[in-house]
């Protein structure tokens, strides 16, 4: 997978160079560097949080609350956690990885990611309400509220069929 992205970056760089010249390649690389400087601390912190979650929460606890037999309780906990998790994928995905490695079931992790992506409180407060208005946001939330649960149930059904 890493090779794909390296090749994509090289091909993109060649495309920028051919269409806009060497100075544009340098400017794009400088902007990418600044993006890396801004994002790297978030990624590092999220990875530490993921590690701390594994260290602080025994596997038995994660399995009991978020494992294969956690049922609707596991889905509800995962959905609530996804809703309140701030930030982008740099923050959410390391946490999902830590939970999965700690004993959370695949469908529960899908509930978490779906809730984070569709119902994220931080995004609602900072972006949606100011730009789209309260009426729009309430209607969107009501329509989106079942999606994490539907995604989890679908994932569980597909995984069972694959076994």
Region 117-124 average pLDDT = 95
Quick one: pLDDT at residue 100?
A: 92
Quick one: pLDDT at residue 12?
A: 92
Dump pLDDT digits (tens) for 35-57: 989 888 888 888 888 788 778 88
Residue 14 CA, distance from chain mean position: 31
What is the C-alpha separation between 143 and 84, in angstroms, rounded?
18
From the number of C-beta atoms within 10 Å of its C-beta (0-12, 13-18, 19+), residue 122 rates as middle
Quick one: pLDDT at residue 129?
A: 96
Does one domain contain both 18 and 93?
A: no
Does one domain contain both 44 and 62?
A: no
- Residue finishing a domain among 39, 56, 73: 56
Does one domain contain both 97 and 87?
A: yes
Residue 29 CA, distance from chain mean position: 26
Dump pLDDT digits (tens) for 126-160: 999 999 999 999 999 999 999 999 999 999 999 98
Dump pLDDT digits (tens) for 94-115: 889 889 999 999 999 999 999 9
Quick one: pLDDT at residue 80?
A: 97
Neighbours of 22 (CB within 10 A): 9
3-state SS assignment for residue 70: coil
pLDDT class of 58 with cuts at 50, 70, 90: confident
Does one domain contain both 98 and 122?
A: yes
Does one domain contain both 71 and 98?
A: yes
Does one domain contain both 67 and 94?
A: yes
Does one domain contain both 11 and 83?
A: no
Quick one: pLDDT at residue 7?
A: 92
Least confident stretch, 4-18, 58-72, 83-97: 83-97
Domain count for the chain: 2
Does one domain contain both 77 and 148?
A: yes
- Residue finishing a domain among 17, 40, 56: 56
Does one domain contain both 28 and 76?
A: no
Structural domain of 138: 58-163
């Amino acid at each position: 997978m890493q090779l794909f992205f390296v090749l994509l970056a090289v091909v993109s760089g060649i495309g920028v160079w051919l269409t806009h010249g060497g100075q544009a390649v340098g400017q794009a690389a400088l902007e990418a560097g600044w993006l890396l400087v801004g994002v790297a601390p978030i990624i590092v912190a999220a990875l530490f949080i993921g590690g701390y979650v594994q260290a602080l929460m025994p596997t038995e606890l994660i399995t009991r609350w978020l494992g294969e037999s956690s049922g609707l309780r596991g889905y509800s906990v995962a959905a609530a956690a996804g809703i309140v998790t701030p930030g982008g994928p740099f923050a959410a995905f390391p946490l999902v990885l830590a939970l999965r490695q700690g004993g959370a079931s695949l469908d529960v992790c899908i509930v978490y990611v779906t809730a984070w992506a569709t119902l994220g409180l931080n995004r609602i407060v900072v972006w949606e309400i100011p730009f789209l208005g309260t009426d729009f946001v309430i209607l969107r939330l009501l329509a989106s509220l079942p999606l994490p649960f539907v995604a989890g149930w679908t994932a569980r059904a597909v995984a069972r069929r694959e076994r």
